[in-house]
A = this chain, B = another copy of it.
Amino acid sequence: MDKSTQYKIFTDPVHGFVSVPKGLVLKLLDHPYVQRLRRIRQLGLANTVFPGAEHSRFSHALGALGLMQRVLNHLRERDTTITYNEFESTLAAILLHDIGHGPFSHTLEKSIIGNAHHEKLTLLLMEELNRQFEGQLDTAIRIFTNRYPKVFLHQLISSQLDIDRLDYLRRDSMFTGVLEGSIGIDRIIRTMRVHQGNIVIDKKGIYAIENYIVARRLMYMQVYLHKTVLGGDKLLIAILNHARRLLQRNEPLPFYSPALEFFISQRRNNTEMVSRKMLDMFTRLDDNDIILTLKYWQHHDDPVLSDLCRRFLDRDFFRTTFLDKKPTDKQLKKWKQDTSGVLEKMGMPSDSDTVSSYFFYDFSQSEAYKYKNDGIWILNDDVAVEFSRASDNQHILALTKPVIKHYVVHLKNVPLN
């Protein structure tokens, strides 16, 4: 057989070309669950700040698939045995690792399906796919859930140095234009080894790892936790919360999206199981459901709903202010009162529910590198040493401390004093 028919080739602006093996992997790629990721932006609202960041979760999944093939082929060249089934299953697992993401990726994670984390949904959808594909995903699921003996395969999917991160850092850096997030993927892949069953990095790659960790920190600070993005997130969550309140008051609320209506209209508690019906509706939901609904809600009679939606669509967000430390209850109370006063002057409702749609306090937390449970290991003369101890500079240790930033999101004319 001509091998030309064994791959489907995709062009990718980040990695050049991605070959997708025909058979199971291509069938999964063509499945509606994966195609749906074309309609979910990888970075949620970041495109409101970085206009180029309009890339989808689908392009990330495809890019990670391409990188995973390169890594697995590289490890085979370095004498690590990887069977055909393991190869295909690891590709399947990385391709599917994000299918549980809902609209706007992380932003609405809690707003749409109570406490169902996207990784839990991913697993449920992988199990559903496994039924449809009659067990062909057994190994992929074991790898994904770290129940497969060769743990390095799981580490490539989820760890402090996994293929997911390598692709998204490079991709997000390129599409946002934030060069400070660029990493040397080629060098990292070329120095990967399997040592005593675990992924390690040859000491020649130690500076590429340092660059990777600092780049990740810089992407968090400049992009993922950008204050305008944080402000947009709060606005979007506030809209859905306010819609729920209107429904509870039995006010008429056209949804334009059956799936969104399903999730917003029913009251759910945190211990509730995810039902099959819910899973089915979930797979019908993507960014379009949210955007389209908001687009028409901006003409709704409710002044709060229409104002919030208009702000969202026209990118007229609230202001986000970082604080030096956690605000006191007294401060928060004062600021909420000020918000209420401003709303009143604007001719808007000024009750506490409405205030909660116009004033928010939260904090972000991030660390560039964690080494407690699953650090990165450097191979030095056949001995693996945890990265922060292998480095010639103590600054890596400082990078393991979480950076916590307290912030409030508020109307521009509410002074924070």
Chain A positions within 8 Å of B, measured between CB atoms, are 2-4, 9-14, 16-17, 30-32, 35, 38-39, 47, 49-52, 54-56, 58-59, 62, 77-79, 174-180, 182-184, 186-187, 190, 193, 202, 207-208, 210-211, 214-215, 217-218, 221-222, 256-258, 284, 286-289, 291-292, 295-296, 313-316, 368, 392-399, 401, 403, 405
Contacts and interface: CB of A to CB of B under 8 A. Distances in A.
Contacts of A49: 11
A167 B9 CA distance: 23
Contacts of A284: 295-296
Contact of A187 (B179, B296, B401): B179
A35 B291 CA distance: 13
Give me the 7 closest cross-chain CB pairs, A-B, nearest first: A395-B398, A395-B395, A13-B52, A180-B211, A11-B177, A13-B177, A394-B398
Contacts of A295: 284, 286, 288
Contacts of A207: 180, 218, 221-222
28 contacts: A2-B79, A3-B79, A10-B51, A11-B49, A11-B51, A11-B177, A12-B51, A12-B52, A13-B174, A13-B176, A17-B177, A30-B315, A30-B316, A51-B59, A51-B62, A54-B55, A178-B184, A179-B182, A180-B184, A180-B187, A180-B208, A207-B222, A211-B215, A287-B288, A288-B288, A394-B398, A395-B399, A397-B398
A187 B182 CA distance: 14
Contacts of A316: 30
A220 to B, nearest CB: 10
A289 B293 CA distance: 10
A55 B58 CA distance: 14
A35 B218 contact: no
A14 B202 CA distance: 24
B11 A176 contact: yes
Given A13-B176, A257-B292, 11 more contacts: A3-B79, A4-B202, A13-B175, A17-B177, A32-B313, A179-B184, A207-B221, A207-B222, A392-B405, A393-B399, A394-B398
A403 B393 contact: yes
Given A54-B56, A59-B54, A394-B398, A39 B291 contact: yes
A91 to B, nearest CB: 16
A30 B30 CA distance: 38
A79 to B, nearest CB: 6
Contacts of A257: 256, 292, 296
Nearest to A293: B292
A388 to B, nearest CB: 11
Contacts of A394: 398, 401
A44 B366 CA distance: 37
A186 to B, nearest CB: 5
Contact of A54 (B17, B54, B393): B54
Contacts of A51: 10-12, 38, 56, 58-59, 62
A250 to B, nearest CB: 23
A246 B256 CA distance: 20
A252 B13 CA distance: 43
Contacts of A175: 13
